[in-house]
Structure 1
Amino acid sequence: MKNKLFRSVRIEIVTYVIISLILSLITTLLITFGLFMLRDFIKRDSQNLNSPVQSAGTTASVQGDASQMDNVEKDIRVNENIKTINGRTDDNILSRYQEDVRIKLSESRRFAGFIVIEMIVCFIFFFSIYFVFFTKKIVDYFEQIDRGIEEFSEGNFDIEFEVRNEDELSNMARNLNRTTGEINRILAKERDEEKSRKEFITCIAHDLRTPLTSVIGYLQLVMAKAHASRSNEELQIKNEEYVKIAYEKAIRLQGLIEELFSFTKTDSTELRLHLTEIDVVKLMEQLADECYPSLQEAGLALEFKTSAEVIKIEADGELMARAIANLLTNGIKYGKDGKKIIIDLYRENENSDLHIRIINYGRLIPEKDIDHIFDKFYRVEDSRSLQTGGAGLGLAITQNIVKLHGGCVNVKSDLSGTVFEIVLPAK
């Protein structure tokens, strides 16, 4: 109910001020009325105590005969006695009367001043009490937010501000919660990026050091036996083998470096696409021809399906070719246990999204690795080998390129095969 009534702290405070004014006024009036009643009660008691003495000195003779007279005679005699007394003591009574009037007026003025001061003091006192009582929750909420902001300024970004109502303070608490959440998100992102940088250095150092060490080792062997191999045919043959191995390692090293540069390029926010109209069917046929030697070496057949003979989209041809080639290479590397690779292109109509599916039937991707398969430098544990272990950037590069084109990459791996699917918008 309070949440619906008070949607502004100002309205709530004004309401509490009005209520406090009314209650303090009522309380002050009740206390003042009580003081008047108490004063009247005290005056009546004092008059009752003084009345016997006064009657004994002035009307003793009248009261002595009053019990024997009827009412008329009694009144006449009382009047005569009063006239007699007035005749004898007129000056004394007048002065006494004036003194009594002056005393009563002085007492009335003092009492009136007391009442005014009492009303002002009571009104201020009770207004303060009521106002503090009604606004205690608001003040406590202020103090709570103030303590939270102080902790926030000291670096505690995990604090959560309580949201009570729909007023300005609650809006402030919501904004502070959003701020702390955003800061925590940024800090978490920075921690992840720092972790990624460390992993980047570790992975690059490992992936570059391994082939480089091999190159240096084999070249050292060749150099050490270069002189002796001139006259020894067997050593010469071995040196040629060493040179061949060193060359292969150098090629692999070159591929890792190119992969690293490609990722750095596609991960940059400054990269601009050079969009042209390309025929995806011809592009896939060209990429399939380039992969033919690798398919033959892996003992895999290639099956190509398409929903149309020509499917054109606007894309950066060079980058898109790189993205699809990475998926084909990945499918060949990890699909050796299967018998074929399937490329499936389909689009319902010219205005619908284009789907590029590459399916292999090799080793399945563990479920725990599915969510990380596109992370840079991430590789399934059993894939780190000389034959299949790259730098772990191929799928990350593909994802970056597809995102630059406004599309997405999905992956599914189960008993029906491992499917990598690129979805590109019509335009």
Structure 2
Amino acid sequence: MTMQLLLTLLLAVARVKASTLLASHYSGQLYTLSLSSTNQLSISGSISSGNRMPAWLDLDSASRTLYIPDEVQWGQPLLKSFTVGTDGAVVPKEQIQTSGGDLHSTLYGGPNGKGYIALAQYDASAISTYPLPLTGAGQPLQKLTFTMPQPGPVPSRQNKPHPHSVFTDPSGQNLLSADLGADLIRVFRVGTNGTLAECSPAKSGAGDGPRHGAFWTRGNSTLLFTVNELSNSITAWSVLYQPGGCISLLKRQTTSTFPPGKSAPPGSKAAEVRVKDNFVYATNRFDRSFGAQEDSIATFSIHAASGNVTFVETTSAHSFFPRTFSINAAGTLVAIGGQTSANVAIVERNVTTGRLGRLLASLKVGNPGAANQEDGLSAVVWNE
């Protein structure tokens, strides 16, 4: 059997069974979406997220638990958890009150890497951590607050530290945070009791504004790719494991999220980064490369031997302000969440070339938002 035939059969098998996705909307709604074997995308369920501004979806597939942080900074901000069925049915589980402004979250630590949850608190210049399950009065295990002596090169966005995301390295022994305000990738060693010990941070380019990160591993090589919101670029970092448990990051390469020779359109800002196989993907918001309200997603290839990345192409994100996107486990489909357009678009992905293909489905999910506002669709993930 040829490799191409095998890939074709695998793709066909993957589509026989319907898939489900989860999507959150800044209005406070949580949606279950169903993608049929004939690529019909529909809303199969909807409930209140229980918090005012659900900012992110953190799905633990093993325990079938979904965590949703709250971006609101007034009233009673809630970190919520839900039980998620294989069919996408969602049932409220636990909650705690936080100090709010929680933009992003990740599970970390403990015997299985899921004993605690960390929250990136953008406006508060902080990272807060909590033990799992979510019980008690909501007292954080730890709250780390950051300062900087003066504003950065983009003072309107870099007036103070702004941790935009939190994520773990492949070993689970380190937690990282992309700090958009301080132009830093902060690194913390994870203790056995879930506490974070600060390591030496890595400095991004001045005015880069790092936002999110994703890892790539091959053999003994590990790379980190960060997407830079303010400079519309991605940066590749070599990951070096040091005695004592901390990792150090060595900057290798920074490249634009737009084609060679094309400048980032005024007002555009890169959003999300994902790695799948030997490819890196990053979304561009408000670049309008494919229409008045149709932004783009950039594809890069990773040279396995050198670790260098090469720009491949930009394709339509089939949405406006694509804040998030998610690649299914098989690597055959990409779900793109348009924040302002409030839609989820499903596109094909070629597992061999890494290129994104035709639009298979697109669905409005909740009310559209306004450009550059905290409304519309906030996140989308595959339920797998």
TM-score (norm 2): 0.23
In terms of fraction of residues, the more strand-rich structure is 2
Larger-Rg structure? 1
In terms of fraction of residues, the more helix-rich structure is 1
TM-score (norm 1): 0.21
